[in-house]
Each structure stands twice: as structure tokens, then as C-alpha cells.
Structure 1
Amino acid sequence: MAGIATHAMQVSEWIRPYPPAEDAHRERKLAAAHAFCARLGRLAVRSLYDELTLYPKPGLVSLVDNGSHRDMNAETFMRSLFALRHYFIRIAKAGADGAAFTELRQLGIDAEQKMLHATRGINTHRGAIFCLGLLCAAAGYCHAHRIRLSPQALRAVLLMEWGQALTIHARATDGSSHGLQVAARHAASGAREEAALGLPSVFEVALPALQSTLETRACWERARIDALFALMAYVSDTNVYYRGGTTGAAMVRSMAQEFLVRGGTAHAQWKTYALECHRQFISRKLSPGGAADLLAAACLVHRLTYRLGGTIAAA
């Protein structure tokens, strides 16, 4: 009898009707969406790694040294990257589902707690969690609505879907972070204001610098250096204000502008000057961490759009 029952079960499996066409289509769509978000998450982590491994990078942690920091090193950043790998996938899916900003914000808060646990309380990527997370959400939305990925599309979605909520968030004074304190004291533009404006430093400063160098010299290292110095010359970095006040901020901006006036990485001695900036920043304990976060965001937009031609299928 047991053999007959087993045989009957096998037959029932063989003759089970195929699922309706709409069910199969839905399953394929969900699988494609999951695959997209997974690739997007890997690209976000890879973009943060692009920032970490760059050198010389004035005042910032790299694989070579700790810059102006005594409480963190490259290993700290690697632990943070590992802790954030699932966050970018989750927020991309939330964006694809048309989630409200409150949900995106909670995902960011949860990711920040995971980061702090992994780094033993050290803030390595708070700004990056915010801006790269928003970009992942915007990319997820584009994919779900069959919008071809481009810098213009990502920024438009960011502003149309969450712009109003981001503006309210930027005006809030409920936080006690160093960035909020410094922004209030020095009228500097922090991550919240940057996001509310659609990440202009990413789309109007870093990305054009990155792409211009790639087009003329086809060097990923030099492109990231030029983009970083463009950001340092442009951004009112709350990290710099916190460590060096108005004097330190003026120094960072002045030295970055001098680097660009010389021609950036097109100058034969660009690395010598960049290393001098690095030494000067370290001597004054200056660290343009906000610019570093925005550089990673620009790397992500580039990987999503220019490099891969509007698709991340090959990522």
C-alpha cells in the first residue's frame, strides 16, 4: 500500500496543471526585481570601496594610512561595508515599491545601528547611508516603472517622490549629530539639505568632474581624485567645520581650488601637491568626510548610468 501511495503522489505531481500565465509572469517579474536590487546593493558597496581605496585623499582614511583619524582605519571601514551590504538591497526594494520617506528613513536608522555595532560605535558611513540609500531607492523606483537609468532620471525621481518629505526633514532640528550642530552654527549645508535639493553636489559637481577626466584620460583613479577635489572646493563640509571651524574650512576650500586651478590630475605634479594637501590636513586634523560620502555617491551614479549604459545587467 505504501508503494501505491507513493506512486499516486508522483503521478499527481506529473499531472499538476501549469500555473496561470499571469502567475508565471508575476514570478519572473519578482525574480528580476530581486536580482536588480541585489546587483544594485553590490554596486553601492563597491562605490564605497572606490572611495576607501583612493589615495592620496587629503585627511581621509585609506588603505595607506588613517589620515586625520586616530579612532578608525581601513579595517573599521571594511567592517562597516560588510554590515551595510543588505541595507542597500532593502532600500532599493522599498524604492521600487514606492515606499514613503518615513520607511526609507527607518531603514537608514536601522542600517546606522548595524554600522555602529560593527565599528564599535564609530561613525564611518552615516552620510553615505543617507545619500547612497536615497540613490538606491530612486534606482529601484526607476526599474519598477521601466524608467531608463540616467542621472537626470535618478534626480527627478528623488525630488518628485521624496522631495517634499526631504525638505521637511532638512528643516527639522530634532537631531544632535555633529553635522546638525555645525550646520546651525556655521550655516553650512549638511547631508539633509543636500538631499532636499536633489544632491546637487553629486550631479552638478562630482559627476561632471568624474566623467570629464574619464573622457580625456580614461583613468578611474585620476577621475576620482579630480571629483574629490572639486567637491572639497565646492561643498561646505560640516565634518571640516566641526574639526577646524571657519579657518579650517577656508583652508580646505583654498587648497582644493588651487589643485583645480593647476589643472587637477592633468598637471604633471598633481600627486605631489595632493600629498602636500594630505600632510597639511593631517597636521590640522582636518577630514572632509562629507566630500568623501558624496564622492562615493557620484561613483554609484556613474556605475549605474554612464559606465553601464543605463542598465546594471552586466554588474
Structure 2
Amino acid sequence: MTALLSRPGRVAAAFSPAHIGRAATLALHDELALAPKPGLVSFEDTGSHDDMDAHTFMRSLLALRSYFTHMAELGAAFAPFDALERSGIEAEARMLAATGGINTHRGAIFMLGLLCAAAGATQADGLALSADHWRAALQQHWGAALQARCARASVLSGGRAARQYGLRSASEEAALGLPVLFECAVPAWRAAQARGLSGQRLQLQVFFQIMAELDDCNIAHRGGLEGLAFARTEAQRFLMNGGATRTEALTDAREIHAAFVARRLSPGGCADTLSAVCLLHRLGALG
């Protein structure tokens, strides 16, 4: 952590770009380490995937370390959106080189990259790195560009699924200031902490809250609207039955994981959002 001198009336920047980048990399590791996690790769198994495992994800996140730091630097300089986008494209190429062409973190490159830039901008604006300031910086500095980006027709599977089924795409979610992250995952994290949850159970509770809310286009790509409805129903059932506070919560989550694997469902958008809230937590933005 690096404290920087501030002008009178401004809050000193608490985190250097390198610290922000390191926190983003660790947040990706937090998401990977969580298990059971319906349909997704963890250190326990490969979930609904035949072409990747935890080692693939580790190679990918290590290849992205410098990217997150660079995005925080760009954000602190209030760089235009096209500079952020170029950095993301370069990072995606490094990811694919590290994984042999497998898409492990494309969504996280977009989402966590934007958050690293917004963290840098928040501090450059002289503001404390709270969740509210973080979201405001994203919308103030790049909101218009993100809105314009929504007009592009995505060639990616998630974007195509969003158009086909009338869902909110990752681009639209970002243009709205990441509402599922800031209006669902952040309150869910705080509520879980207030209930005494921590570690695996806290993250599991938040993950299911995200899955009950998010238009996860990765699920829709694999399972259509039926698959998305199944995922939401399972998430809501888990939460209504008491969530991660129950003794049997982990057993229940493993059964849901097995059902997702049987249907080949993979909630990658939920995983990205969990990584994002882990990043906010690691940088002290959740109180």
C-alpha cells in the first residue's frame, strides 16, 4: 500500500496502481478457489468444462497481472475509453497465448479492467475508494463511451445470446454502472457479514445472490432461457432455504453443482461478478 500526498481538501490516495492490480489478480484467485460453485471450474473439478481446469485458470490470471496495473494507471490519468479498450484487447491476446486459445477470463478482463481503471480515477479525483465513489467514477469518466459501445453488434457467444433472448448483455450492464455488482452483490456481501458469515460461506451466499439476479448470458448461450430459468430457480431455492448459514448448505451447493454439470451450464457472468465484489472487498470498499 502506498500513501500519496494530496492537495488540501483532497483525500490521499491509499492504493498504488500496482496494489490495485495485485488485488484484482487475487480476486480472480478468490473466485477460482471457491467450491462448490455450480458449473464452474475450481481446484476441486472442472465443472461443466472439458477444455480447461484450475491450472488453465492459473496460467491465465498470472498472464493478466500487468494488465490490471496498467488499467489502474490509465484510470488515474483519465485516459479515454479507446485506450482502455486497446489495453483489454492486448490482455485478451496474452490470456489466449497463456491458455492455448482457451477463453478463461474474457469477461473478467472487461469487468475487472474497468473497475481497476475506475479505482485509479476515483483516487485521482481525490475521493476515498468507497463502492459509491467507485461506481460514480466509472459512469462519470467512461459512461458515455460504454453506452456507445452497446450499439455495436457483439460477435461473442454471450452477446449473441443476449440479442437472441432479449437479455441485458455485459456491455449494457457496464453502461448502467454495473447494477448487479453495486446494487445486489455489494449489499449481499455486507448482509452476509452482518449474519456472521466469512470465507467460503460468505462468498457462496453472495454467489447465489448474484445468480438469482444476473442475466447470465453464458448460461443462456449453453442452455437457452430454460437453462437460465433453472439456474435462477436453484439459486432462489438455495437462498429461501436459509442460504449459506445452514449446516447442510455445502451439501446442497454440491448437489446444485452436479445438476449444472449434468446440464452443461456455466454461469461465467456470475463468476466475473463474484471476482468483482472480491476486488472491492480486498480494497476496503465494502466498509
C-alpha distance in 2 between matches for 1:263 and 1:204: 21
C-alpha distance in 2 between matches for 1:150 and 1:306: 4
Of 270, 274, 287, 2:253 maps to: 274
Of 144, 159, 167, 1:188 maps to: 167
8 Å CA contact 1:211, 1:223 repeated in 2 = no
Q: Is 1:223 aligned with 2:196? A: no
Once the two structures are TM-superposed, the CA of residue 302 in structure 1 deviates from its matched residue by 1.7
8 Å CA contact 2:129, 2:285 repeated in 1 = no
Once the two structures are TM-superposed, the CA of residue 268 in structure 1 deviates from its matched residue by 2.3
8 Å CA contact 2:13, 2:126 repeated in 1 = no
C-alpha distance in 1 between matches for 2:61 and 2:139: 27
C-alpha distance in 1 between matches for 2:191 and 2:206: 9
C-alpha distance in 2 between matches for 1:34 and 1:250: 42
Deviations 1:208-258 (A, max 9, x none): 112211222141211110111011111111110111111111110100000
Deviations 1:189-212 (A, max 9, x none): 121111000011111111111221
The one-letter amino acid paired with 2:58 is: M
C-alpha distance in 2 between matches for 1:212 and 1:197: 23
The one-letter amino acid paired with 1:246 is: L
C-alpha distance in 2 between matches for 1:218 and 1:273: 17
Ranges in structure 2 where 5+ consecutive residues have no aligned partner: 7-11
Tell me which residue corresponds to 2:61: 81
Tell me which residue corresponds to 1:133: 113
C-alpha distance in 1 between matches for 2:93 and 2:14: 24
C-alpha distance in 2 between matches for 1:105 and 1:257: 35
C-alpha distance in 1 between matches for 2:198 and 2:175: 32
Once the two structures are TM-superposed, the CA of residue 304 in structure 1 deviates from its matched residue by 1.6
C-alpha distance in 2 between matches for 1:233 and 1:295: 13
Over the residues paired in the alignment, what is the CA RMSD in angstroms? 1.7
Once the two structures are TM-superposed, the CA of residue 33 in structure 1 deviates from its matched residue by 7.8
Tell me which residue corresponds to 2:101: 121
C-alpha distance in 2 between matches for 1:290 and 1:47: 15
TM-score (norm 1): 0.85
Of 80, 92, 103, 1:100 maps to: 80
8 Å CA contact 1:68, 1:286 repeated in 2 = yes
Deviations 1:57-98 (A, max 9, x none): 000000000000000000000000010000000010000001
Once the two structures are TM-superposed, the CA of residue 305 in structure 1 deviates from its matched residue by 2.7
8 Å CA contact 2:74, 2:120 repeated in 1 = yes
C-alpha distance in 2 between matches for 1:304 and 1:255: 31
8 Å CA contact 2:197, 2:245 repeated in 1 = no
The one-letter amino acid paired with 2:212 is: A
Aligned positions, number: 278
Ranges in structure 1 where 5+ consecutive residues have no aligned partner: 1-24, 27-31, 310-315
Deviations 1:262-289 (A, max 9, x none): 1111122111111110010000100101
Q: Is 1:235 aligned with 2:218? A: no
Once the two structures are TM-superposed, the CA of residue 36 in structure 1 deviates from its matched residue by 0.2
2:64 is paired with a residue of what secondary structure? Answer: helix
* % identical equivalent positions: 48
- Greater radius of gyration (CA): 1
TM-score (norm 2): 0.93
C-alpha distance in 2 between matches for 1:204 and 1:180: 22
Query: What are the residue-to-residue correspondences of 1:288-299 with 2, within 5 Å?
Result: 288-299=267-278
